[in-house]
A = this chain, B = another copy of it.
């Protein structure tokens, strides 16, 4: 089960991803929660302390290690690295959830993300091998670096929307791209919904069977984002809405 989460910056991708990771930890043996958006921090969203997170090595720092494994001298771009070892070494664990992060802090003037994107594609294919696991991949709005092969291995692309024109526009572009890449299912979640008008705004733009659910705007989540992770202690309207979405996802893939 491999779920990719996309959408405009700030719509709540990380809160949705972290909550899903927790829910899939009940339905699946292992969960891999991967930050592929440099803006995201899933581990912080479930309340893992910042000092621990600082020690989490980003997967892109693996170049040297992977070079060594391939006998040295090999091009990183054509590698299919041994992913299992990496997962143990480059992760933070919370119960049966493994947190991984793709990128690190870039040096100024380093223009190119080709290496990271190539590695992400290799890792995605690697993670697919394990059938008892769920993979939650928190992506940015940009999904165009996925190869067709990697994209086809994604079971569902979830696009998070808030009631704003810009976030709907971004979601529409992501949908077009996902279709083009051959991603099997693209579904939408309406987040930060404060009233019926906002709900209708989203229903106006997407077909009913494309919308997996709505999450109400929650003052407590907004408050908690100053100190604790919004998905540290699940409860309230967020948990209720996300449980329904989790069930629908299980049906989408198994059914």
Contact = CB atoms under 8 A, between A and B. Distances in A.
A52 interface: no
B144 A39 contact: no
A147 B109 contact: yes
A105 B177 CA distance: 9
B111 A165 contact: no
B8 A109 contact: no
A198 B177 contact: no
A44 interface: yes
Nearest to A117: B111
Interface in A164-194: 164-166, 169-170, 173, 176-178, 180-181
Identical copies of this chain, number: 2
A181 B107 CA distance: 9
Interface of chain A: mostly helix, strand, loop or mixed: loop
A145 interface: yes
A87 to B, nearest CB: 23
A165 B45 CA distance: 10
A140 B113 CA distance: 15
Contacts of A41: 166, 169
Contacts of A207: none
Given A181-B109, A226-B198, A166 B8 contact: no
B105 A176 contact: yes
A70 to B, nearest CB: 20
Given A9-B140, A105-B173, 5 more contacts: A44-B166, A111-B147, A165-B226, A165-B227, A198-B226
